Amino acid sequence: GAWLGKAETQRFANDRAGAIATLRTFAQRYPDHAQTPAVLIELARQLERNEDYRTALAYQTLLADAFPQHTGAANALLRAGINRYRLNEVSAAVKLWQRALTAYPNAAEAPMLRLWLGKGLLAQRKRTEARAAWQAVATQAPESYAGQRALSLARAAGLTLTLGTGAQSSGDDGSQAFAERWLRTWVKTGSAATDLTALDPRIRRDQDWQRGQAYLALRLRGPALEALELVRARYWNEPLLVYQLAVAFEELQTYRLSVISAARVIALAPNPQVSAAPLFVQRLAYPQHFADLVSEEALRFTVDPLLIYAMIRQESLFEPGAESSAAARGLMQVIPSTGSWIAGELGMSDFHESDLYRPWISVKFGAFYTMRGLRAANGNVATALVGYNAGPGNAKIWRERSGADEDLFYETISIAEPRAYLSQITMHRAHYARLYGAR
């Protein structure tokens, strides 16, 4: 622990060479220590940030060889293969990914391993084998970043995949009635005559529910949301009540609570894939609130409206009053300093920071900033999204290191939050495209 702490202190002091030397000394001096796997993982990470990919992969391979039971072994082989791929050693990369899938077929990294295996096989002109690897991803993890990338790569290579989604029930007309017939197939609902659209008496009698309604009537949105959040949490494991709350929250225009409640219903279902749920429930989880604003500003700044919806869902869950720990505000989570700059660019001399909570300002500013990010990234959506989340300077550095390869770009992002952001927005956008049609 002390060695890792020392290395972290050195790294924060911008002494990366010192941090690497500290970690390397520990790994050489204590090859069998319980902390050695963690040291090897951090050492490889620092070497990657230094673009010393060959030395990084040596330590990643060492981890997998010396500590095959460690939880980081599968990821070490994944990254060692990626670093081989960076060095144009495709055959060696493929062997590492195949080794990892043989040893750890059920690891969390398995979809990404298969994604990269397909890339390596395609580079070797083994199209049939590449398609098989990507088909495995599309079947086993269709609603994941790896699944979406497998579809994109296969499409670009002229290969056809069968998406492994829960087959939509025939007769789904998108109605609430159909959704409630679906609910009856797996939720205890009392008698067949029970009206599922009516709020359960437990919710109606719930004091927090009543308080929330009263606060909303008084236009005290903050206290109302706090009370209604308690209601949501109280019935979180009861799918019928969560469903009823999803519908009720949307009617109250407390959209964040509606979205997460609808997503919870899907997660509790026998098949938890979004695409397997009734369209009515999917659209509660992936709504198009503020549609007039989104359409107008997307058109004004030539940004895909489905991308804007995906970003709003990720940034604020459609709650205009959302505020992050970094003081980002509103539907599209614009920070005040960026808001002031955008206001200047748009010639809005009367801008105040509190305006960021106004939906029409937030969507306008977010769409403008996305447009600028896309323009700076020559239209590349992934670079623009990472810039929106982590700053355009970071996105530019990671793109320069990775080149045009989208998957290398994703793996080069060295901060967890923008990596997750890119992954989540990619999936949200795919759901929006499936539910509402491509632009």
Residue 421 tokens read as 């952001």
- Catalytic residue at 315? yes
Residue 419 tokens read as 């990596």
Q: How far apart are CA 3 and CA 436, in angstroms?
A: 53
- Rounded to the nearest 5 percent, the helix, strand and coil shares of the chain are 70, 0, 30
For residue 243, the number of C-alpha atoms closer than 13 Å in the C-beta half-sphere is 29
Q: Give CA angle at 207 (203, 208), nearest 5°.
A: 85
DSSP 199: P
Sign of CA dihedral 435, 314, 322, 207: positive
Q: Enumerate residues 6+ apart whose C-beta is below 8 A from 70.
A: 37, 63
Residue 323 tokens read as 């505020």
Q: How far apart are CA 359 and CA 331, in angstroms?
A: 6
Q: How far apart are CA 148 and CA 89, in angstroms?
A: 25
Nearest one of 91, 6, 81 to 46, comparing CA atoms: 6
Nearest one of 307, 408, 427, 431 to 79, comparing CA atoms: 408
Q: Enumerate residues 6+ apart whose C-beta is below 8 A from 19.
A: 7, 8, 10, 11, 46
Q: Enumerate residues 6+ apart whose C-beta is below 8 A from 433.
A: 306
State the catalytic residue, choosing from 143, 315, 319, 406.
315
Distance of CA 324 to the CA centre of its chain: 17
Distances (CA, A) of 25 to 51, 52, 63: 20, 17, 15
Q: Which residues are catalytic?
A: 315
